[in-house]
Amino acid sequence: MIEFKNVCKNYGDTQALRGTSFSIQRGEVVGLLGPNGAGKTTALKILVGYLMPSSGTATVAGHNVEADPRAVQEKIGYMPESAPLYHDMLVQEYLSFIADMRALEGSHKRERIHRVAQDCSVMDVLTRPIGQLSKGYRQRVGLAAAMVHDPEILLLDEPTSGLDPNQIVEVRNLIRRLGTHKTIIFSTHILSEVEASCTRAVIIIDGLVRADGTLEELTRSREQVVRLSVDHPDEAREVLERVPNVSSVRATSVEDGFTTFRMVLDADHEVGEDIAAAVRERGWPLRELRRDDRNLEQVFRELTGTFAKEVSP
């Protein structure tokens, strides 16, 4: 559905994207995650044809964004971080104007305006000037405008910016509902937004894709934690090292007579049964056996920390 292949984007001497590649299939809800200045907004602007790549290719629904931008723009709805709204227009007038721009007519136009106004919770402000609305309401009007033509693909840049907690939950729920029949990419630097709404995350740092996968894939750890009551930790470590697919074992702490061991696995293997069998065979009391999965915040901090080390003098 969306293909971003070796895309570079230069602003003078500044390289915002440096050979960035990712692909997104129909029906996915993908969070484009990264710190401020990572290149997320630049990637979205290239996908909508607002910017052209310096090199590389971007395609949407089979259409190249450079060769056929009009065909691309017919397929997508785009909401930039600061939605370009006409503050002197009433909300209803603005949505009608956007619908006209999208060539909607008659009853279909009226139905779509009513539907997006309901979905984005702006029914109660349809007759108010946009300039009199709070930032949160203006954000929702921008989202409604992006959806009015019922696009196959939604590109949302910081869609919950300026919303209060209740409104954020509403937008999350809306994104999840739309994700059942649309392809959605939204950029954010708020990790909880990705965890709450996305099936997959692409993490961009300094213009490069540093991680790409489902949330389970990104947070799944290759470490196993085992807590045993043993008199001789070195003996237990040697036994655990002989478990298949375990590459290393280290004792990290002793508490209440139980020693905690951290085991690094060779690959994405399940070794719990093998560990339990080795422990039972020797009669060691076992208090804890688990995979030490991380949350998305830990993954993000590890990646940004690694990158900082790479570029430090």
- pLDDT tens, position by position, 196-247: 888 899 999 999 999 999 888 888 777 888 899 998 899 999 999 999 989 8
Residue 152 shares a structural domain with residue 68: yes
pLDDT of residue 89: 97
- pLDDT tens, position by position, 62-83: 999 999 999 999 999 999 887 7
Number of domains observed in the structure of the chain: 2
Cα–Cα distances in Å, from 159 out to 70, 120, 191, 199, 270?
Answer: 24, 11, 13, 17, 38
- Both tokens of 273, joined, read 């049964």
- Look at residue 306 and tell me whether its pLDDT is greater than 70: no
Residue 189 shares a structural domain with residue 283: no
Of the candidates 260, 257, 258, the one whose C-alpha atom is nearest the C-alpha of residue 249 is: 260
Residue 106 shares a structural domain with residue 209: yes
User: Residues 147, 77: contact at Cβ < 8 Å?
Assistant: yes
Burial class (CB within 10 angstroms; exposed 0-12, middle 13-18, buried 19+) of 112:
buried
Residue 61 shares a structural domain with residue 183: yes
Q: Which of 166, 193, 218 is the last residue of a domain?
A: 218
Residue 192 shares a structural domain with residue 79: yes
In a domain, 299, yes or no: no
Task: Convert 283-307 to b/e letters by CB count within 10 Å (16 or more is b).
Answer: ebeeeebebeeeebeebbeebbeeb
Cα gap 295→38, rounded to integer Å:
21
- pLDDT tens, position by position, 25-61: 988 999 999 888 899 999 999 999 999 999 999 999 9
Please give the model's pTM, rounded to 2 decimal places: 0.78
- pLDDT tens, position by position, 89-123: 999 999 999 999 999 999 999 999 999 999 888 99
pLDDT of residue 169: 83
- Look at residue 308 and tell me whether its pLDDT is greater than 80: no
* Phi/psi-derived region of residue 25, left when phi > 0, alpha when psi is between -120 and 50, beta in every other case: beta
Query: pLDDT grade, residue 310 (50/70/90)?
Result: very low
Which amino acid, 201? A
- Look at residue 313 and tell me whether its pLDDT is greater than 50: no
Cα gap 255→70, rounded to integer Å:
65
Residue 185 shares a structural domain with residue 36: yes
Residue ranges making up the domain that contains 85: 2-218
Residue 213 shares a structural domain with residue 252: no
Q: Which of 173, 191, 218 is the last residue of a domain?
A: 218
pLDDT of residue 312: 43
User: Residues 139, 62: contact at Cβ < 8 Å?
Assistant: no
Residue 232 shares a structural domain with residue 190: no
Residue with tokens 């969070």: 31
- Look at residue 154 and tell me whether its pLDDT is greater than 70: yes
Query: pLDDT grade, residue 151 (50/70/90)?
Result: very high
Contacts of 257 (CB under 8 A, 6+ apart): 229
- Both tokens of 247, joined, read 């590459």
pLDDT of residue 70: 92
Query: pLDDT grade, residue 150 (50/70/90)?
Result: very high
Residue 208 shares a structural domain with residue 139: yes
Q: From the centroid of its chain, how far is CA 144?
A: 21
The CB-based long-range contact list for 70-73 (8 Å cut-off, 24+ gap) reads 72/47, 72/48, 73/48, 73/49
In a domain, 311, yes or no: no
